[in-house]
Amino acid sequence: MHEQFPVLEQDAPYLNHAAVGPWPRVTAEAVQAFADENMRQGSANYFKWLERERDLREMLARLTGAPSADDIALLKNTTECISAVAWGLDWQPSDNVVLPAGEFPSNRLPWLAQSARGVAAREVDIRATDEPEAVLIDAMDANTRLLTVSSVQWADGLRLDLERLGAACRKRGVLFFVDAIQQLGALPIDVAACQADFLAADAHKWLLAPEGIAVFFCRADVRPKLQLLQQGWHMVDRSWDFDRTEWPVSDTAVRFEAGSPNTTGQAALHASAGLLLEFGMERIGAAVLENTDRLMTELVRIDGIRLNSHTAPARRSGIVNFRHETIAPGTLYQGLKERGISCALREGGVRVSPHFYQGETELAVFLEALAHIV
């Protein structure tokens, strides 16, 4: 598997998958082959491209636990997925939406914008408690229309209990939206098990594919409840039948894909998703959490280092955020950057996020560099 990741050939480890994941070799080769095919043959093989698109939906259904590939749309990014719901619902002036405070702007701004329609956004502090699910559930009332959460929080890696939240939403008749951008591709996830109505995730982080393509799961019985924000040729049944006079919108999640697809992004994500499925999400998740366990154990052995991330096993993800008692986070970050180590400065700490194909060797280089800085 290591031969699929030329990034490992670098002297300094890449520890920033929570921002952008490096492509595997198979993904780069798929894009290069697609570009060469297009250069030499144009769209002569377009119907084969459509077969790949259908295959990709099946792969993403397997990765998300979706009941059917018909529940999967291929959109541009997580923001577009979230906006399809935020602007598509028939909100009533008394409605409210509940979300954790400090969500990434993509999962915050579309909901706050609904204030123009009389919808209140209830932002709940989940970091001041050991029971974040409880405070989110307690914030819901008879007027709550939707709960939206990032399954893994983007700054500190806090992982939420989606099954508990989903069960609470179902009991109350509340819609449940999961932003899975920091989980899908890193840890197993199952929309059926957690009773999610919607799930969204960009491909360019843990899914190891390019920006510009994202997976959007929408439950079948909820799809008709969303007003469509765009109209176009690709979202209809039998989209290639141009001789008809009526254009009924597809009953599948394709209804959210108005225009021409990102065929290059599909070629890339098809390759990356295939690699993840071949290795297996259970094995990937175990490797990711093993890295996190090692980091949490070793970081606190460095004088002055403290963890910002939650340490309870059920709360761990692929993200670890740390600080130093006396050295500013920016100084730590700059020192690591000067040594070629890719990481991120987030919410009062340094965020590192290794993936499954990395391990003891890469983490040892990072830990040694950090020890020299402090």
Residue where the block lists tokens 């690591």: 336
| Architecture field, domain 2-22+281-373 | Alpha-Beta Complex (3.90)
- Distance between terminal CA atoms of the chain? 34
- What pLDDT, on the 0 to 100 scale, is given for residue 139? 98
**CB of 193 within 8 A of CB of 161?**
no
Instruction: Give the domain 27-278 fold.
Output: Aspartate Aminotransferase; domain 2 (3.40.640)
Q: What is the bridge-based pairing of β-strands 96-100 and 120-124?
A: parallel
Residue where the block lists tokens 């399954």: 151
At 152, which amino acid appears?
V
Q: How far apart are CA 41 and CA 192, in angstroms?
A: 41
pTM: 0.96
Helices within the chain (DSSP H only): 25-41, 46-64, 78-86, 109-112, 132-138, 162-172, 263-279, 281-299, 329-338, 360-373
Residues 6 or more apart whose Cβ sits within 8 Å of residue 342: 12, 13, 14, 15, 16
Question: 226 — alpha (psi -120 to 50), left (phi > 0) or beta?
Answer: beta
Q: How far apart are CA 195 and CA 197, in angstroms?
A: 6
Helix (H, G, I), strand (E, B) or coil at 71: helix
Residue where the block lists tokens 């225009």: 259
- What pLDDT, on the 0 to 100 scale, is given for residue 237? 79
Residues 6 or more apart whose Cβ sits within 8 Å of residue 243: none
HEC assignment per residue over 232-284 = CHHHECCCCCCCCCCCCECCCHHHHCCCCCCHHHHHHHHHHHHHHHHHCHHHH
Task: Supply angle C-alpha 253, 197, 151, rounded to 5.
Answer: 115
- What pLDDT, on the 0 to 100 scale, is given for residue 76? 97
- What pLDDT, on the 0 to 100 scale, is given for residue 364? 97
Residues 6 or more apart whose Cβ sits within 8 Å of residue 223: 251, 253, 255
Which strands, in side-by-side order, build the sheet including 175-179?
72-75, 214-218, 198-202, 175-179, 144-150, 96-100, 120-124
State both tokens at 345: 């400065």
- What pLDDT, on the 0 to 100 scale, is given for residue 245? 74
Q: What tens-digit pLDDT sequence spans the chain (374 residues)?
A: 789 999 999 999 999 999 999 999 999 999 999 999 999 999 998 889 899 999 999 999 999 999 999 999 999 999 999 999 999 999 999 999 999 999 999 999 999 999 999 999 999 999 889 999 999 999 999 999 999 999 999 999 999 999 999 999 999 999 999 999 999 999 999 999 999 999 999 999 999 999 999 999 999 999 999 999 999 888 887 766 677 777 789 899 999 999 999 999 999 999 999 999 999 999 999 999 999 999 999 999 999 999 999 999 999 999 999 999 999 999 999 999 999 999 999 989 999 999 999 999 999 999 999 999 99
- Chain centre distance of CA 291: 19
Q: How many CB atoms lie within 10 A of CB 265?
A: 21
- What pLDDT, on the 0 to 100 scale, is given for residue 261? 93
- What pLDDT, on the 0 to 100 scale, is given for residue 244? 74
State both tokens at 49: 């491209």
At 61, which amino acid appears?
A
Question: 238 — alpha (psi -120 to 50), left (phi > 0) or beta?
Answer: left
State both tokens at 354: 């290794």
Q: How many CB atoms lie within 10 A of CB 362?
A: 21
Q: What does the domain layout of the chain look like in residue ranges? A: 2-22+281-373, 27-278
- What pLDDT, on the 0 to 100 scale, is given for residue 158? 98
Question: How many residues make up the chain in this entry?
Answer: 374
